Amino acid sequence: MKKLLLYTLLLLFCLYSLVFAEEYKFELSETEKKPYQLGGYGEFRPVLFGLDRNAALYKLKFYNRDEGRRIEEYNFRLQLEGSYEYGIARIFGRVNGDLSHTYQGWSDETSLYEGFLSLKPSNSFTLDMGKKTLKWGKGYAWNPVAFIDRPKDPDEPDLALEGFWVLSADFIQSFSGPLKTLSFTPVFLPVLERINDAFGTTEKANLAAKLYLLLYDTDIDFIVFTGGSRSTRYGVDFSRNITSNFEIHGEFAYIEDFQKRYIDSNGNILSSTNDTVSYLLGVRYLSQRETTYILEYYRNGTGFTKGEFQYFYQFVDRAYDNYLATGNDAPLGKALNLSQGNYGRPNPMRNYLYLRISQKEPLDILYFTPSLTTIVNLNDPSFSIAPEVAYTGITNLELRLKATFLVGGGETEFGEKPNDYRIELRARYYF
């Protein structure tokens, strides 16, 4: 009887061990490091646009065609990244491929987002050369001090961006006391005929530098950019936790001799050059119910005034009327060019407010996050409001459904966009 009991207990223990091993397996192979890494994601993003047929930018886009009240768009993206490490050297590359089907048919674009060689002879020093994004600044939706980055889209601030060809280094030093960390990042950015030519004036050398301090538990960056491709500019940013669930951040940029090109209502291109200031102030707050609030105010000193932007809309209306009367679409072509330049960049005016509220896992639904985002143009005032739900419960699959409604009257930024609303699904699979 005792033996039987012993065998039963032994069997139960073995079964338990087996079940346990099955349930919570952690193979040592999962911790092994390979010299190379390959990964990325594939994405499918269908979008439905509800068109605003009275808006200025609708007229500009669809003046010679009728696409009805709604248009659909199907976007596919493949982003691949890989790295190879050998000793102190590491090569990293990220390639982005987009394939879209819009009312204009199929189009595709492939870009090298990043591709650089990194040398790290010690933990205190890194040297990078190649195409790289630096993403300076502390703001979530905007970064006025990101002097050598492409502007990010406040609607999708987390998306990877294409970098520039640079030579950069990081020197890091740690201390005990109020100053815990000091790091210095100098960057050399040449602009030549086919290298970084989107950055600014070509055949010029540019230098930028960032000094980072962790001082009294506050992140502080001092930033400077100078060179022939853009005017000299200085920046400072900070970020600090006031309490464990309340963070404040800010950025301040001083830009010398900023040249602004704008038009009057007749389409004459005017230009002015001034020193200008841009800044951002923001807070991030996590409530006890695990709701996250991000609130930011952005003063865009390089932006257009309300009057300057109204001139643009008036010019578009005149060009459209002229086209209807004469069939001449040349003025519309000029307006289209402008809308693809400065007038078409995200949030091109002077004063904006950004608010994002997201609730982590409401009703105990794990990996489910509903959010609401609004961007308000304080000069118009017009705004966009975007409710969304995201689900990440299936390993490596991210699902997001987002609707964006644009609200504003005539001659306002959001009121004159070509669509009233946009509904999109984004399914992204990582591998």
Binding of residue 77 to another protein (CB under 8 A): no
Applying CB under 8 A, among 76, 265, 392, 399 the residue interacting with another protein is 392
Applying CB under 8 A, among 168, 229, 239, 379 the residue interacting with another protein is 239
Binding of residue 95 to another protein (CB under 8 A): no
Applying CB under 8 A, among 107, 173, 259, 305 the residue interacting with another protein is 173
* Cβ-Cβ contacts under 8 Å for 334 (sequence gap 6 or more): 267, 319
Binding of residue 108 to another protein (CB under 8 A): no
Applying CB under 8 A, among 102, 183, 231, 314 the residue interacting with another protein is 183
Work out how close the CB of 160 gets to another protein at its nearest, in angstroms, rounded to a whole number.
Answer: 4
Work out how close the CB of 373 gets to another protein at its nearest, in angstroms, rounded to a whole number.
Answer: 16
162 CB-contact burial (10 Å; exposed 0-12 / middle 13-18 / buried 19+): middle
Binding of residue 29 to another protein (CB under 8 A): no
Applying CB under 8 A, among 64, 108, 363, 431 the residue interacting with another protein is 431
- How many whole angstroms separate alpha carbon 392 and alpha carbon 367? 5
- The long-range contacts involving 355-361, CB below 8 angstroms and separated by at least 24 positions, are 355/293, 355/294, 355/295, 355/296, 356/140, 356/141, 356/292, 356/293, 356/294, 357/291, 357/292, 357/293, 358/291, 358/292, 359/289, 359/290, 359/291, 359/292, 360/290, 360/291, 360/292, 361/290
**Do residues 48 and 70 touch, judged by C-beta distance below 8 A?**
yes
Buried-state track 189-205, b at ≥16 Cβ within 10 A, e below 16: bbbeeeebeebeeeebe
Work out how close the CB of 78 gets to another protein at its nearest, in angstroms, rounded to a whole number.
Answer: 14
Q: Name the nearest CA neighbour of 139 among 234, 250, 294.
A: 250
Binding mask 269-308 for another protein (x = CB under 8 A): ---------------x-x---x-x----------------
Residues engaged in binding another protein (CB under 8 A): 24, 26, 28, 30-31, 33, 37, 39, 41, 85, 90, 120, 123-124, 126, 133-138, 140, 157-161, 170, 172-174, 180-181, 183, 185, 212, 214, 217, 219, 239-241, 243-245, 247, 249, 284, 286, 290, 292, 360-361, 364, 366-367, 392-393, 395-398, 430-431
